[in-house]
A and B are shown apart, each in its own frame.
Chain A
Amino acid sequence: MPAFIVHLIHTLFPKTVLFPDILLIDLGLVVGGIGLFIFMTKTHRWGWLWREWLTTVDHKRIAVLYLIAAIVMLFRGGIDAEMIRAQLALPGTHFMPAIQYDEVFTTHGTIMIFFMGMPFIFALFNAVVPLMIGARDVAFPRINAMSYWLFACGAILFNISFIIGGSPDAGWTAYPPYTGLAFNPGPGENYYFLALIIAGIGTTMTGINFLVTTVRMRAPGMTLMRMPLFIWSAMVTSALVLFAFPPLTVALAMSLFDRLFGSSFFTLGHGGMPMMYVNLFWLFGHPEVYILVIPLFGVFSEVVATFSKKQLFGYPIMVASILAIMFLSYGTWVHHFFTMGAGPGVNVFFGLSTMLIAIPTGVKIFNWIFTMWGGRIQFTVAMLYQLAFIPTFVIGGATGVMLAAVPADYQFHNSYFVIAHFHNVIIGGTLFGLLSGLYYWWPKMFGSKLNEKQGRVAFWLFFIGFWVTFSPQYLLGLKGMTRRLYTYPAGLGWHELNVISTVGALIMGAGFVALVFNIVWTLVYGERDLTGDPWDGRTLEWSLPSPVPEYNFARVPVVHARDAWWDMKQKGQSLAQLSPEDVHDIEMPRNTPVPFLLGVAFFVVGFALTFKWWPIAGIGLAGVFAIIIFSGFDYEDHHHLKAEVVRKTEASLGRLQG
């Protein structure tokens, strides 16, 4: 064999990716890939895949793509979590070697935040925001597709690290100097930085897109104070994305320069300043946790109003508090590194600003409770997640205020108390919110309700599993167990609590299985919803048939009140009764391969830079520029849907008069 092929094999498959379990996964991926290829070819689905999905710019299809990616990543991150709990269940276990344990907790955190939470949120945004504001698509449909394919490219780049070259192992925060070349020469951290930079470009574009969409694309009559709260939350989240991602990109790029080009921004020698990375990372990181939870505040505001059969209590205050949270979230980032020792002035300022955020959040909690008060509550699965969210999030928030007290934080810092706290807010707030939104909007996305009985089983497994997993971890933290610990000796009193925690993780795993079963069962046997409004909803998306036709609204609605669709139903009006004269030609964005090819080109750049293959990276970069320039001169980006076609579609849905 030529020497360079041997060298290539040693580079791509070092000893760290040759564990037996990973080899088994390699085999599974190869067999599965071949099987999928044969299946697609036999059933002639490649053209369908290309035309309907890979080149699509329709926000509803992009939402489905985001959703699939998010659920696959939930599986990957969940497997990582189960492996962590298996390792920690008993003292002195060597289920995994230390290096693999480090890789697993790193990928667990990174995937759950960047490649599960955010795409799931963007799935909901894409599925619902244009429908709720009475628009036919987002402001920039092509950029929307580019965002998805850049995210997908980043996610794939990050996920292949464990079979090719080795995973990153410096935690989801990737603090230097450990991520420097001196301590971490393998390709793992390169994967981390490049994947996050590429996915971050996509996320920033999504932020711009939804900010412009919510500001500019609302139906006539929908003033700012008539927007549903989910639209407010989408707007605020997009603004947070716009401000939060630049510091992250800068910090990641500087770390990457340290690794690839020998600069010294964050190294120990040559005047580098590792703590500056920590500062920049959390300058992004704190707004990021609000990016992860504010959209779900919006979801809960819609769900609680719909299933309490009442208007949301205190709408103006809800808007004000969401804006206050946005503003305050920029001024709290030091609470992630109080123990750096920045001095009492800095620490007190940021401790107080952190406690301040609890006030607008508390206001929101009370408003949700008051919305339910006196309402006729329907205990659907979406509402159950809402009811579970309130106590869970309150306890997570309360332990957050404990962590904001600086002297106490010196004790809690880096212990399992912190782990329990942020899982309490991220699972209790984000995951419960995402699942609530999934059950609530599933009929709109796919045209049939998710089976409620099976959904209830998944809900109780998630809810009970969550508390069994994480309440022991508060106590473990107080007993001195530190985070990122790969094994521990017997006799420290941590044994029983860790066993309980692992049992809880298994219950949550069963919850995930139940959820997937529920989804698959519904896709196969689900009953078609013919009304388009199965929950008796309040906002405009429920005025449309499910699933929604390509052009969304045959006639753009005029909004007269806050809960626009509810108001129309009260007045006996219906968008379902169109007269044929109301239907005109509709300008629609045209499908394009540009976003997909851009993702491919970025993948080439990312993969080549990971292994420092400069010529290939150069070719990939040239491809990126060529695609962007081509896209700039591509004037054939839209087409007109003939009124006749729209009339025919509406008539087949029974929505046309005469």
Chain B
Amino acid sequence: MAHSETELTISEAYERDNDRALKFLKPRFHEEKFPMTQILGYIGSLILTFAAYFLVINRVLPSIALLAVILTLAVMQGALQLGVFMHVREGRGLAWQLIPLYLVFLIALGMVGMSVWIMLFKSGVS
């Protein structure tokens, strides 16, 4: 009944709210004796690379579908590298590195998007 809310000190409440607001920054920190995750990640990244190579060399898909599949494989590859080898969520305390990482995604997308926009010119100068 007269539970928690009133009994919390101000700083505790602040901390709790902070925890809720920054839940996505909660780090996961774990250690293994044998680097199983890394080995699986390595095999996975090789599979993703060779899958893309196979699709391009053998041309089993129409061009647009091929492009879509390769881009999907690339995104998966990037996520795998960041998650497994670059320890993106690990660390002591909150994982502040995630915020600049989102900024990086924004800038990278901006660069790619604007490059596509620029290179779609139709004036026949090329």
Contact = CB atoms under 8 A, between A and B. Distances in A.
A279 B118 contact: yes
A415 B115 CA distance: 26
Interface string A221-235: 000000000000000
B119 A330 contact: no
Contacts of B111: 247, 283, 330
Contact of B118 (A243, A274, A334): A334
A24 interface: no
A340 B125 contact: yes
A274 to B, nearest CB: 7
B107 A330 contact: yes
22 contacts: A243-B107, A275-B119, A275-B125, A276-B119, A279-B115, A279-B118, A283-B111, A283-B115, A330-B111, A331-B114, A334-B118, A340-B121, A340-B125, A341-B125, A342-B119, A342-B121, A342-B123, A343-B122, A343-B123, A346-B117, A346-B118, A346-B121
A243 B104 CA distance: 9
A588 B38 CA distance: 32
B123 A273 contact: no
Contacts of A247: 111
A529 to B, nearest CB: 41
Contacts of A334: 118
A276 B122 CA distance: 14
A273 B116 CA distance: 13
Contact of A343 (B107, B110, B115, B121): B121
Given A330-B110, A331-B114, A341 B119 contact: no
B4 interface: no
Residue among B107, B114, B117 with max Cβ neighbours from chain A (10 Å): B114
Interface in A267-288: 273-276, 279-280, 283
Band of interface residues on B: 10 to 19
Contacts of B121: 340-343, 346
Interface string A339-351: 0111100100000
Contacts, number: 37
Interface of A: 243, 247, 273-276, 279-280, 283, 330-331, 334, 340-343, 346
A466 B31 CA distance: 60
Interface string B84-114: 0000000000000000000010010011001
A564 B125 CA distance: 57
B18 to A, nearest CB: 20
B58 interface: no
Contacts of B104: 243
B9 interface: no
A276 B120 CA distance: 11
B114 to A, nearest CB: 7
B126 interface: yes
A274 B121 CA distance: 13
A331 B125 CA distance: 23
Contact of B126 (A243, A275, A283): A275
Nearest to B122: A343
B118 A273 contact: no
Contacts of A275: 119, 125-126
Contacts of A330: 107, 110-111
A638 B107 CA distance: 38
Interface in B53-103: none
A341 B107 contact: no
A301 B39 CA distance: 50
A212 to B, nearest CB: 11
A319 B125 CA distance: 42
A279 B119 contact: yes
